[in-house]
């Protein structure tokens, strides 16, 4: 099993004829993803890597069924594309665009909640279940099918951690990139619950960073609801207060946004805490659960 996507997931790509959409469609198909259709207004009737292109999602739905949509549309058009995707009521939407205005993503998330659609992102590397399905840009060469669920706010950190896990003999059930923030669709606490309910996932790796309160929410869920062992790594221990560290969501304001505060909360909640990606391996070795 896996969470959010699996080998049967059928996918539509928005922005499929663009440079990024076309390239990533090819890579996703090579990874085993069932890309059944694409959409770019004005490009209907074309094909991209054997995938039929339509002007609108409504037209694609007349010819295909699909379970997920990934949006490779540039930020200035991403809001309209997201609304079109949500209107179709396809249950899962991945939004990759960076620079998505806060007021727009708030409206998109609210509309998605109303329609019962899960949103991953924006500014997300996506989600991948190795050997089954990839929606996004995670480098497949660093991933191996296995039993460790990986949840991260940082794409680059998840790549590094997955590389260490794979080289250490621990494959991944699913890897989920929440996105850079400061506003998100799916949050850590929701994905933690999904991993906890997945019988294939025996350990959850939580990769967090300074800024915001998402890890505080995660600690509460870990303490009260999660039974699967959680290994946490929080980066940014040297981050000065008030500074933005890479992501819009990684701004340290007050002690609650610091790495030290988050580490203490997660440890008190029952999570194991690692100091580095390689340290995650040592913690899992000691668990003897895989």
Nearest by Cα to 157 from 226, 91, 210, 88: 210
In this structure, the answer to whether residues 224 and 253 fall within a common structural domain is: yes
Contact 153, 181 (CB under 8 A): yes
**Which positions ≥6 away from 61 have C-beta within 8 Å?**
88
Is residue 127 domain-resident?
A: no
Does residue 49 carry a catalytic annotation?
no
Secondary structure element (H or E) that encloses residue 30, with its range:
helix 19-30
Look at residue 255 and tell me whether its pLDDT is greater than 80: no
3-class DSSP state of 38: strand
* CA 259 to chain CA centroid, nearest Å: 21
Is the domain of 157 the same as that of 233? yes
When pLDDT is averaged across residues 241-264 and rounded to a whole number, the result is 66
Q: What is the CATH number of the domain that holds 159?
A: 3.40.50.261
Residues 143 and 281 in one domain: yes
150 and 98 inside one domain:
no
Whether 21 maps to a domain, the answer reads yes
pLDDT, residue 257, reads: 78
- Per the DSSP assignment, residues forming a β-bridge with 94 are 70, 120
Within a domain: 279: yes
Residues 257, 211 contacting (CB under 8 angstroms): yes
Q: Collect all residues with Cβ–Cβ distance below 8 Å to 46 and sequence separation of at least 6.
A: 17, 40, 53
Domain count along the chain:
2
Question: Does some domain include residue 29?
Answer: yes
Q: What's 49's domain CATH number?
A: 3.40.50.720
In a shared domain, residues 70 and 150: no
The yes-or-no verdict on residue 253 having pLDDT over 80 is no
DSSP 140: G
Taking residues 68-74, report their average pLDDT: 97
Q: Give the confidence band of 238 by pLDDT, cuts at 50, 70, 90.
A: low
pLDDT of 200-209, one tens digit each?
Answer: 999 999 999 9
Please name the residues in contact with 224: beta carbons below 8 A apart, sequence gap of 6 or more. Answer: none
102 with 157, same domain: the answer is: no
Looking at the fold, whether 173 and 278 belong to one and the same domain comes out as yes
If residue 134 lies in a helix (H) or strand (E), which one and from where to where?
Answer: strand 133-136
Instruction: Domain of residue 104: give its range.
Output: 10-120
177 and 76, same structural domain?
A: no
Residues 163 and 280 in one domain: yes
Do 148 and 97 share a domain, yes or no? no
pTM: 0.93
| Band (290; pLDDT cuts 50, 70, 90) | confident
Residue 288: per-residue pLDDT:
81
Q: Which of 33-47, 160-174, 224-238 has the lowest mean pLDDT?
A: 224-238
Cα–Cα distance for residue pair 92/112, rounded to 1 Å: 9
pLDDT single digits (tens) 94-152 = 999 999 999 999 999 999 999 999 999 999 999 999 999 999 999 999 999 999 999 99
Please indicate, yes or no, whether residues 271 and 241 belong to a single structural domain of this protein.
yes
- Cα 98 from chain centroid (whole Å): 14
- Residue 26: the pLDDT is 98
- Asked whether residue 164 is assigned to any structural domain, the reply reads yes
My answer on whether 273 and 197 are in the same domain is yes
Residue range 152-166: mean pLDDT, rounded: 96
What is the pLDDT, as a whole number, of residue 181?
82
Nearest to 95 by CA among 110, 108, 113, 111: 108
């Amino acid at each position: 099993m896996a969470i959010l996507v699996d080998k049967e997931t059928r996918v539509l790509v928005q922005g499929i004829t663009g440079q990024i959409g076309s390239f990533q469609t090819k890579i996703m198909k090579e990874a085993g993803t069932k890309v059944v259709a694409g959409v770019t207004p004005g490009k209907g009737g074309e094909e991209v890597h054997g995938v039929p292109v339509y002007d609108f999602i409504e037209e694609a739905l007349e010819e295909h069924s699909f379970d997920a949509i990934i949006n490779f549309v540039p930020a200035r058009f991403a809001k309209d594309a997201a609304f079109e995707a949500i209107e179709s009521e396809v249950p899962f939407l991945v939004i990759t665009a960076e620079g998505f205005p806060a007021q727009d993503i708030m409206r998109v998330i609210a509309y998605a909640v109303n329609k019962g659609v899960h949103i991953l992102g924006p500014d997300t590397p996506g989600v991948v279940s190795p050997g089954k399905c990839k929606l996004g840009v995670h480098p497949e060469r660093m991933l191996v099918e296995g039993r460790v669920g990986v949840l991260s706010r940082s794409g680059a950190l998840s790549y590094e951690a997955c590389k260490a896990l794979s080289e250490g003999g621990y494959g991944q059930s699913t890897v989920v990139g929440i996105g850079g923030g400061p506003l998100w669709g799916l949050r850590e606490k929701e994905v933690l619950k999904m991993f906890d309910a997945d019988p294939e996932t025996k350990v959850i790796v939580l990769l967090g960073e300074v800024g915001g309160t998402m890890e505080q929410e995660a600690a509460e869920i870990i303490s009260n609801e999660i039974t699967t062992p959680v290994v946490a790594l929080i980066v940014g221990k040297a981050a000065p207060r008030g500074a933005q560290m890479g992501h819009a969501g990684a701004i340290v304001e007050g002690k609650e946004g610091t790495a030290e505060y988050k580490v203490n909360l997660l440890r008190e909640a029952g999570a194991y805490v690692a100091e580095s990606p390689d340290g995650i391996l040592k913690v899992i070795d000691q668990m003897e659960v895989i």
